[in-house]
Amino acid sequence: MKVIINIVLLVGFFSFANASIEKTDLQVCESELNKANTRILELLDKKIEEVKSGHVTNNENVLKKDYFKKVKISNIKAKYYDSLIDGKIPGITFKLKNMGKKTLSFIEVTVYFLDKHGNPIHEEKYYPVNDEASFRPTSPLKANYIWRIERGKFLAAKSVPKEWKKGKVKVEITDLHFSNKGE
């Protein structure tokens, strides 16, 4: 923003300059303009590198991360569930409530399975809200709405190692998308 203001000031200076400016004054102005131009190009190159490396924070990512707090996770139950096909397997159930004012089209939930010391030993990602999916999309989660898995069902976590302390999990919202459809 500061660079743009400097450019505007320099352009304005040249626009309102008196026609009787001496040649040396013009050379000084041209030199300053070249320095400003070089600095602008350096800043642009730096921003391009930041974007390419992923080290740039844009407004959408900031908004998303702020909105994570507005999706309340409750009724977490992690245990061994009976599966008709696999027998007893680790799984989890939980509820999500959208406490914000925006409709969400996608929510990624990461469940960290903990050992007896409370250390994460495994993680699973779930996508309970995904109206962007081409195969079996779900409904978006509107403001004040609640998502929960169907009664009698659970989200399987077959790869959880046996060192998992039954019931010990940490559950977080790790990504979400705002709906761009009419709300």
Q: pLDDT tens-digit profile of 73-89?
A: 999 999 999 999 999 99
Query: Does residue 137 register a pLDDT over 50?
Result: yes
Query: Measured between alpha carbons, how far is 178 from 63 in angstroms, rounded to an integer?
Result: 10
Picking from 56, 78, 96, the residue at the C-terminal end of a domain is 56
pLDDT recorded at residue 37 = 76
The better pLDDT of the pair 182, 60 is held by 60
Query: Does residue 161 register a pLDDT over 70?
Result: yes
pTM here is 0.66
State the number of CA atoms in the 13 A half-sphere of 90 facing the CB: 21
Taking Cα atoms as reference points, which of 40, 100, 93 lies closest to residue 69? 100
Residue 116 lies in a domain: yes
Q: For residue 112, give the CATH number of its domain.
A: 2.60.40
99 and 139 inside one domain: yes
* Total count of domains within the chain: 2
51 and 95 inside one domain: no
In angstroms, what CA-CA distances link 166 with 75, 81, 169, 170, 172? 16, 11, 8, 12, 18
117 and 159 inside one domain: yes
- Tell me what the pLDDT averaged over the chain comes to: 83
Residue 126 lies in a domain: yes
Query: Does residue 3 register a pLDDT over 60?
Result: no
pLDDT digits (tens, 9 = 90+) for 48-67: 665 555 544 567 778 888 99
Taking Cα atoms as reference points, which of 138, 59, 147 lies closest to residue 99? 147
76 and 135 inside one domain: yes
Average pLDDT of the segment spanning 2-19: 47
Residue-range definition of the domain harbouring residue 148 = 63-178
